[in-house]
Amino acid sequence: MSEDDKSFMLEILTPDRVIFSGEIIYLRAPGIEGSFGVLKNHIPFLTALDIGEIEVETSDQKYFFAAGGGFAEVLNNVVSILAETAERADEIDVERAKKARERAEARLRARTEGVNANRARAALVRAMTRLKIASKI
Amino acid sequence: MATLRDIRRKISSVKSTQQITKAMKMVAAAKLRRAQENILKTRPYAYRLNQVLGHVAGLVDRSIHPLLEEREAKRIGIVAVTADRGLCGAFNQNILRKATEELEAQTKDVKDVFVIAIGRHARDYFRIRPYPVIYESYDFFSHLEFANAVRISEEIIRLFTQHELDHIHLVYNEFKSAIQQNLTVEQLLPIQPVKPDIGRRKLEYLYEPSPDQILDALLPKQIDIQLWRVLLESNAAEQGARMTAMEMATDNASEMIDKLTLYYNRVRQATITKEITEIVGGAEALNK
């Protein structure tokens, strides 16, 4: 590895598949206490992830992912993202996300309180994140 | 000597057995394909989660979370993961033998041992043995779901955090390939630290939010995921074992049919020869 090599490893994993695995030069991910960026030689870092957008830059391309919460570990130039769910921008089913958004909005309008309202709010955030990311390609 | 009819009957009986084993082999092959896909998809996540937690477990104060607590091992739990069904070679027997060995070894160290029986075979086996079964779960492999793993995981976490068990080991068949299973013994709880590969530098994480909040969310998930992986491993290994066993049974049946057919022909020939000799003998007697 030469001095000006800026690349490090990233793996994005969900319980049912490997979403991304490869050398990258920049990562931005939605930490629970705010979005954070990672470059080469980042200090060891362990964080919970919020629902949101993951941005990945390789030496020649940019990728966007919609993540549905989880964890990230940065250690020794290897970043592991253990997400509950994650999709690459071009895999997002826009129709399904739109329907999910409508459903969630309808539920919130019905003003049910407690667990259901929280779930609807989370579903709404997930759907809106997906739509936002899908629009980036 | 067996009559021709007896041999014919035997041949047709072996043939119908062969048809069954052949069908079972094909069913197992189809199920294996799906089971193999599932385990291969789950492994990367499970292994990585294990690794990340291993790193953390090596760093934090162990008293920070009940699932990390290292106690003197007085009460040992052995989780024996077998299949619900048989006819898969030595698959179940291997697990039960290994689990019994572990139980015996721990008992020699004057430990109290308990069995957590997963799968119908483990349950039936330990029900009539002197080791107390503290929890059992069976008849779910045919429609295996993540919820099955969560149910077992919740019970194991309860047993551990309420100090009913101090150490919990898993005995299961790891899926290696369609024709090979690895009999595996692993410690599930307390979580074992993994040394990160960073040379001599001292590792210090930055946590967001605090370590105990992260562990609170990660540790129960870890147990869920590890058990889920083990159930998937065992399920894929079971289908592989059954496929191999049924293939061998089919081959053996073919061999048996060949031998019986040969025997049948020999007996038939002998019968004809005997009849001819009798006729010739009779004719000669008339000529005199």
Asked if the model's pLDDT at residue A23 lies above 70, the reply is yes
Q: Who wins on pLDDT, B212 or B184?
A: B184
DSSP B90: B
Helix (H, G, I), strand (E, B) or coil at A51: strand
Percent of chain B scoring above 70 in pLDDT: 97
User: By CB neighbour count within 10 A (0-12 exposed, 13-18 middle, 19+ buried), where does B282 fall?
Assistant: exposed
**Which residue out of B14, B67, B81, B88 is catalytically annotated?**
B88
Report the distance separating Cα B233 and Cα B40, nearest Å: 9
pLDDT at B195 over 80: no
Mean pLDDT over the full length of chain B:
90
Indicate if A14 and A32 belong to the same structural domain.
Answer: yes
pLDDT in tens, B222-276: 999 999 999 999 999 999 999 999 999 999 999 999 999 999 999 999 999 999 9
pLDDT confidence of A121, banded at 50, 70, 90? confident
From the CB of residue B1, how many other CB atoms can be counted at a distance below 10 Å? 8
User: Does the pLDDT value for residue A87 go beyond 80?
Assistant: yes
Q: What is the mean pLDDT of residues A87-100?
A: 87
Average pLDDT over residues B192-218: 77
Which residues in chain A touch residue B211, judged by CB atoms under 8 angstroms apart? 46
ipTM above 0.90, yes or no: no
H or E segment and range at residue A29: strand A26-31
A100 and A64, same structural domain? no
Residue A3 domain flag: no
Classify the phi-psi angles of B110: left when phi > 0, otherwise alpha if psi is within -120 to 50, otherwise beta: left
| In the predicted structure, residue B183 carries a pLDDT above the cut 80 | yes
Orientation of helix B4-59 relative to helix B211-287, angle to 10°: 170
Residues A52 and A119 grouped into a single domain: no
d(CA B56, CA B53): 5
* B214·A76 Cβ contact <8 A: no
Reported as a pLDDT band with limits 50, 70 and 90, residue A107 is: confident
CATH number belonging to domain B26-242: 3.40.1380.10
List chain B domain ranges: 4-21+246-279, 26-242
CATH number at residue A20: 2.60.15.10
Confidence (pLDDT) at B55: 84
Mean pLDDT computed over B51-76: 84
How many domains, chain A? 2
pLDDT at B199 over 60: no
Which chain A residues contact residue B225 at CB under 8 A? Answer: 15
C-alpha distances out from residue B278 to A47, B142, B210, B266, Å: 96, 62, 100, 18
In angstroms, rounded to a whole number, what is the distance separating the alpha carbons of residues B21 and B15? 10
The pLDDT score that the predictor gives to residue A113 is 64
* Residue A18 sits in the same domain as residue A78: yes
Same domain, A67 and A119: no
Q: Quick one: average pLDDT of B205-224? A: 86
Residues A85, A99, single domain; the answer is: no
Specify whether A65 is located in the same domain as A24: yes
CA distances from A52 to A30, A64, A123, A132, B227 (A): 6, 10, 12, 10, 29
CATH code of the domain containing A119: 1.20.5.440
Q: What integer is the mean pLDDT of A9-33?
A: 92
Q: What is the pLDDT of residues B82-141, one digit of tens each?
A: 999 989 989 999 999 999 999 998 888 877 899 999 999 999 999 999 999 999 999 999
A2 lies in some domain: no
**Residue B84, phi then psi, degrees to nearest 5:** -80, -25
**Does the residue A1 lie in any domain?**
no
pLDDT at B60: 81
Helices and strands (DSSP H and E) totals, chain A: 2, 8
Residue B224 · residue B153 · CB < 8 Å: yes
Q: A100 and A71, same structural domain?
A: no
Domain range for A120: 93-134
Q: How far apart are CA A78 and CA A80, in angstroms?
A: 6
Residue A116 forms part of a structural domain: yes
Residue B183, strand partner residues: B173
Q: Are residues A13 and A58 in the same domain?
A: yes
For chain B, which residues lie within 8 Å of any Cβ of chain A, measuring from their own Cβ?
Answer: 41-42, 44-46, 48-49, 51-52, 55-56, 196-198, 203-209, 211, 213-214, 217-218, 225, 228
Same domain, yes or no: A97 and A65: no
Q: How many beta carbons lie within 10 A of that of residue B101, not counting itself?
A: 13
Residues A112 and A58 in one domain: no
A85 and A107 inside one domain: no
Half-sphere exposure of A44 (CA within 13 A, CB side): 14
Q: For an interface test with A, which of B52, B56, B197 has the most A Cβ atoms less than 10 Å from its Cβ?
A: B52
Q: Do A46 and B41 touch (CB under 8 A)?
A: no
Measured between beta carbons, the chain A residues lying within 8 angstroms of B197 are: 76
Give the amino acid at B112. Answer: D
